[in-house]
Structure 1
Amino acid sequence: MNDQLDTSGQRQNDAPEPDAPQVLRLAWWLWIASAAVGVVRAIIQLTDRESLISSLRESAPEMNQDELDQAANAGVLMSLLMAAAVFAIYLLLANKMLRGRNWARVVMAVFCAFSLAGALIVLLGVGSMGLGPVSEAAGVEFDGLDLLISFVVAALDTAVLVLLLRPEANRWYRKT
């Protein structure tokens, strides 16, 4: 256990482990890169205000332009807050993982597995039906950029998953 006293005399359980293996340090960077790509993706999607208002107009034709603008602004704000919250959670998990918290490694591995499974499902769907039917079935519009970003995130998450399960990582977690 890595209990240290902080300046107030309280036990501090999250002091960094000085000997974290290189594979876990690399996993940390790849995990943060994956989260950053997700944030960039959200920002790119939010820059298309015309598409956002058009979608709102289709789903709520009774709204006037002022209401559509307010709803679009609220949607952009909520999306940015959600992206920031997800990034913060990814950062928290990565930091806990690098400090020897096995529960964080397990949560990260589960997230990575879901990311990989989702990418495989989309790949199989696009390969068998094409991009249009997959977008329709998912209820969201996919374009080539969305697909590319999804696979970049899945590739990063797959690399993280492999690194988290490497023998030297397992040995280190057993020690800590």
Structure 2
Amino acid sequence: MPVDVGTAYQLWCGVLILGIVSAVTSLAVMWRDRQAFVDRLMDQMPEMSGSEAMTRDDFLALIPFGLGVAAVGSFVILGLLYLVVRQMRRGKNWARMLLTLVGVFMTLSTVPTLFGVGAGTGVEGWVLGIVGILQSVLTVGAIVLMHRRDANLYFLRIPNN
């Protein structure tokens, strides 16, 4: 395995660790702002047709379940991404291509944060913004390393002359 691929693996592991930080921070923000979320739902209730009227307490009771589903979903996605990263390290070209696509999407989705849009407010907003930017930097580095000459030879199984 070329050094570039090993370094790309380490960078992707850093992206995943930052993903855990981002998921935990996002869940904490959602828990803290649950009252405002329920307020918005209650405001939209008259617009919903054909459904039973739910009370504010009903919505509040569903919040822990929703956060649990979000937490499980986040960690399943991170776990699957780690499995793909491991396959990339083993020289699987499909994993390199998939990580390239995911990385480009992640990086482009961080662009609004650079302009102060969508990161949120308060300490959590700063944490999410900084984590997103660091993830993008690590992701771009990993993508570049995965496509260097020695890495291409490794993934495409071309003999090195």
Letter in 2 for 1:99: R
Letter in 2 for 1:89: L
Gap regions ≥5 residues in structure 1: 1-19
In proportion to residue count, which structure has more helix?
A: 2
Tell me the TM-score normalised to structure 1 length.
Answer: 0.73
Tell me the TM-score normalised to structure 2 length.
Answer: 0.79
| Count of residue pairs the alignment pairs up | 145
Q: How does 1:83-122 map to 2 (within 5 A)?
A: 83-122=74-113
For 1:79, the equivalent position in structure 2 comes to 70
- For CA contacts below 8 A with separation 6 or more, give which structure has more relative contact order: 2
Shift of residue 84 of structure 1? Answer: 1.1
Q: How does 1:20-59 map to 2 (within 5 A)?
A: 20-48=1-29, 49-59=31-41
The change in CA–CA distance for 1:121 and 1:30 in structure 2 (over 3 A counts) is same
Conserved in 2, the CA contact under 8 Å of 1:94 and 1:104? Answer: yes
Shift of residue 121 of structure 1? Answer: 4.2
Q: Deviations over 1:66-95 (max 9, x none)?
A: 323322101210111111111111111111
Paired with 2:5 and 2:109, the residues of 1 have a C-alpha distance of 24
Letter in 1 for 2:147: L
Q: Deviations over 1:117-157 (max 9, x none)?
A: 2223442xx2xxxx3xx33xxxx845222211110111111
* RMSD, matched Cα: 2.1
Gap regions ≥5 residues in structure 2: 46-53
How many percent identity over aligned positions? 19
